[in-house]
A and B are shown apart, each in its own frame.
Chain A
Amino acid sequence: MSTVVRIAGSAGQGVQTLGDILARSVFRSGLYLHGEMSYHSRIRGGENTFTLRIGESPVLATEAQADLLVALNEEMLVVHRPAVREGGVVFTDEEVGEPGHGAVRLPAGRLARDELKLPIAAGVILLGAAARFLGLTPEVVRAEIRAAFGEKAEPNVRAVDLGYAHGPAGTPRLPAPRFAPGDRMLLTGGQAVGAGAIAAGCRFVASYPMTPGTAVFEFIAQHAAQHGIVVEQAEDEIAAINMALGASYAGARALVTTSGGGFALMVEGLSLARMIETPVVIHLGQRPGPATGLPTRTGQENLLFALHAGHGEFPRYIVAPTDPADAFYLTMKAFEVAEKYQVPAFVLTDQFLVDSYAVVSALSPTRVPVEEHLVPVEELDRLGRYERFAVTRSGISPRALPGVSEKLVLVDSDEHDPYGRITEDLGVRRAMVEKRLRKADGMREEISPPEIYPAGSLRGKRVLLGWGSTYGAIREATERLGEGYAHVHLRELWPLRTEELRRVWGEAEEVILVEETATGQLGRLVGGETGLRPHRFVPRYDGRPFTAEDILGALR
């Protein structure tokens, strides 16, 4: 069971800030939550909502219905009231014209103007009232207000207190604390990708702003000076990836972060990464396309694009995290795989994951080992001639940096011999193609198998198959469907491990793909590799994330 609070306002009314404060207050109270920010692509006006789902156990999906709506203006009241459940409550300002029956009307605007001389604080007053109704202690909320507003906190602290004083007490809705302070973390997927990159030793980030990739770019920029990372806003995405490759060649673990349109511009650079066997991590935050699409909405339309982008044939590594914890660990792993195999690695997220808060088990920076994959300088000194692209069984050649020894390092976008010199020798060409492709064998071994829930045989079951951030919604739907249903989820998508998938198809009664696309890209990917096709497909492609209700509705 969960309690859903929705704060709805126009851009500029502080919905994100109010949502952050409420989410942090709930987290501080020892409760699980999921916080989803949804917004129109506008800086002023439009419609912003923050949906907070509070639960007794981890929550990883959002919900359309709400128990408590805080409507910051009349328009939001009209738009969002229909989604309030029977017995739910609406908090709004007394100046809002037609609140309908059952609404709690507070003199928020008047108090903010007259008592606080800070009209914008009306939202904070409503927040205070909602917090009281939920049963949060004022101390917790005040502390979060202070953390959020810094020097400007005091009028806002008073606003919260006014909300507590004027709002009604609810029947306590929130469960008792579920975890102790220090046991869990609250973060967004975007923060998690950034933290994972830093933990993996990322030293160079170049990016051109594009939602939702920007969240990661900005997070790392905030920590760059402290952690010795060069962060540069490139003139375009083409520059971003070529700068990243130059930096990576020279020894800096490198990241680019973008979305579909930006990645489209990076594609030639992706091929270069592969030809010069220089690692780079690409954070590709998906949003609906084609072209500029729905700039602030979510989707999973770039799986096949990430997989097929680039001219020529070469292996790559693709992960799609399910939640912020997964995003942290898989980003670290993406850096490690990229460095070890000298390949491009993709962290494929989406707007929903990047912008949503979730409570996860405290992250451990030691779970994914971070290792050096360069030839030690002493070894280089002992070598006669250094061959950057020596042909090996594993396909991995010894990688050295320029300027650390007297050995010269030569890389070339043309086909080249082991030393790096241009060649058109057909035998060398064949050997190089084969060497590069051999890396996929090693990478496939490193990939974790799909998660199967509940564990055990799938015989006679209907399997809901998904990947990436739809995890929470699918899991919730599977649990509610109960007996006869299972959930199979892929987080590391390429190189594809086909044997487990064959098992799924072999045992299950039916495989139902659940994906935020119109065409079922994972189905096409698996089909291409194994000939197996999902029996049914539950799509969503309107730019909003899946809820468990959506999936149940499609299956009923």
Chain B
Amino acid sequence: MAELNGEKYLADVEIAWCPGCGNFAIRKSLARALAQVDLPPHKVVLVTGIGQAAKIAHYVNLNGFNGLHGRTIAAAAGVKLARPDLTVIAESGDGDLYGEGGNHLVHNIRRNVDLTVIAHDNRVYGLTKGQASPTAPRGYRTRAQPAGSPSAPLNPLALAVAVGAPFVAQAFSGEIERTADLIAQGIRHKGFALVNVLHPCPSWNRVQTFAWYRERLVHLEERGHDPTDRAAAFAVAIGSGEEIPIGVVYRTERPTFADGHPVLAGDPVGLRPLPSPEDVRPILEGFL
């Protein structure tokens, strides 16, 4: 049972998340997903940004790169390009991945680097105390947006499908098994995989609570949604506004960054030996 729960992936350290936060469940789901795909911890790099969610790098037993706010996916892409032999997971908050890091999200979908991105979507900036995140609904009131957020929320699912992400899923942190399963599918999928995990933030977000989500969740599998149908994926991603889809929204095969790449096809560049002076002689001879 410990095996299946992935306990070996969990660090026995003090955790600084608020009591009752959805982050705890996502941490469990991550461990179970890794147990499902059965990867040794040292073959996984967890790249995180900055925020409450990003602290997860310290609460697991994996290689960790806890970098800068917003730069999670950029750093993760660098790790993966240097070391295609490692499984690279980028994990952070919605502020980090969709706000400060929006550009890297878009362009790494284009690149289609084989990454699994787990977004902790609590619709607020947790660590900086509750400001609206890019996924906060219009009119959402905070101390920084006292009149309510004037902008429409970003729809990460529709964005990812539009830009061409080959794997797009949404999970709810309250459903540990299902979330684990979606993360595992994301890891197995070759190419860029986005798993947007909705999770209540009991400290700041008094609107999107556990109960609020439970009333609105719909499970795509039960609806007979065909995730390989892009038009259907868009319809699901855009949604009615009333229902919140959970499951694989879109899945396709697309050439990855590494496919056919003249260098990435060989040994990982991060493990190649240093060049010998002989290796550079042809370049130098070009200057003779």
- Residues in chain B near residue A225, CB distance under 8 A: 262-263
Q: Is the CB of B263 within 8 A of A228?
A: yes
CB proximity of A257 to chain B, nearest CB, Å: 15
| Listed A/B pairs (21) with beta-carbon separation below 8 Å | A187-B287, A203-B82, A227-B275, A229-B263, A243-B78, A245-B67, A246-B75, A250-B45, A251-B268, A251-B271, A252-B83, A269-B68, A364-B277, A403-B85, A408-B61, A409-B64, A411-B65, A412-B58, A413-B67, A420-B64, A422-B58
Closest 10 CB pairs of A and B: A246-B78, A251-B270, A243-B78, A402-B63, A235-B107, A185-B287, A247-B82, A246-B75, A365-B277, A242-B74
In angstroms, Cα B33 to Cα A65, docked, is 72
In the complex with contacts A235-B103, A421-B58, A230-B83 CB distance below 8 A: no
- Residues in chain B near residue A406, CB distance under 8 A: 40, 42
Q: B42, B274, B280: which has the most chain A beta carbons within 10 Å?
A: B280
Fill in one digit per residue for B164-195: 1 if any A CB lies within 8 Å of its CB, else 0: 00000000000000000000000000000000
- In the complex, besides A230-B82, A251-B268, A422-B58, 4 extra interface pairs with C-beta distance below 8 angstroms are A204-B78, A226-B282, A402-B79, A421-B58
In angstroms, Cα B55 to Cα A74, docked, is 67
CB proximity of B17 to chain A, nearest CB, Å: 13
- Residues in B lying within 8 Å of A, measured CB to CB: 13, 40-43, 45, 47, 50, 55, 57-58, 61-68, 71, 74-83, 85-86, 103-104, 106-107, 111, 261-264, 266-272, 274-275, 277, 279-284, 287-288
- Residues in chain B near residue A272, CB distance under 8 A: 67-68, 71
In angstroms, Cα B256 to Cα A264, docked, is 31
Q: Is the CB of A238 within 8 A of B74?
A: yes
In angstroms, Cα B8 to Cα A65, docked, is 74
Within 8 A of B (CB), among A174-214: 181-182, 184-187, 191, 195, 198-199, 201, 203-204, 206
- Residues in chain A near residue B85, CB distance under 8 A: 403
- Residues in chain A near residue B64, CB distance under 8 A: 408-412, 420
Q: Is the CB of B86 within 8 A of A250?
A: yes
Q: Is the CB of B78 within 8 A of A244?
A: yes
Fill in one digit per residue for A288-310: 1 if any B CB lies within 8 Å of its CB, else 0: 00000000000000000000000
Within 8 A of B (CB), among A211-261: 223-230, 232, 234-236, 238-239, 242-252, 254
Q: Is the CB of B275 within 8 A of A199?
A: yes
Closest to A253 in B: B274
**A401 contacts the other chain (CB 8 A):** yes
CB proximity of B238 to chain A, nearest CB, Å: 26
In angstroms, Cα B281 to Cα A265, docked, is 35
In angstroms, Cα B263 to Cα A223, docked, is 11
CB proximity of A133 to chain B, nearest CB, Å: 27
**A interface, size bucket:** 35 or more
**A363 contacts the other chain (CB 8 A):** yes
Q: Is the CB of B13 within 8 A of A421?
A: yes
Closest to A412 in B: B66
**A366 contacts the other chain (CB 8 A):** yes
Q: Is the CB of B71 within 8 A of A370?
A: no
Q: Is the CB of A228 within 8 A of B83?
A: no
In angstroms, Cα B113 to Cα A39, docked, is 38
In angstroms, Cα B45 to Cα A249, docked, is 11
CB proximity of B150 to chain A, nearest CB, Å: 26
- Quick one: which of B42, B55, B104, B274 contacts A408, CB cutoff 8 A? B42
In angstroms, Cα B286 to Cα A187, docked, is 9
- Quick one: which of A230, A403, A422 contacts B43, CB cutoff 8 A? A403
Within 8 A of B (CB), among A382-429: 401-414, 420-422
Q: Is the CB of B82 within 8 A of A250?
A: yes
Closest to B42 in A: A406
- Quick one: which of B61, B282, B283, B288 contacts A182, CB cutoff 8 A? B288
**A372 contacts the other chain (CB 8 A):** yes
**A56 contacts the other chain (CB 8 A):** no
- Residues in chain B near residue A421, CB distance under 8 A: 13, 58
**A67 contacts the other chain (CB 8 A):** no
- Residues in chain B near residue A199, CB distance under 8 A: 275, 277, 280, 283
Q: Is the CB of A227 within 8 A of B68?
A: no
In angstroms, Cα B272 to Cα A401, docked, is 12
Q: Is the CB of A206 within 8 A of B287?
A: no
**A268 contacts the other chain (CB 8 A):** yes
In the complex with contacts A408-B63, A413-B50, A250-B270 CB distance below 8 A: yes
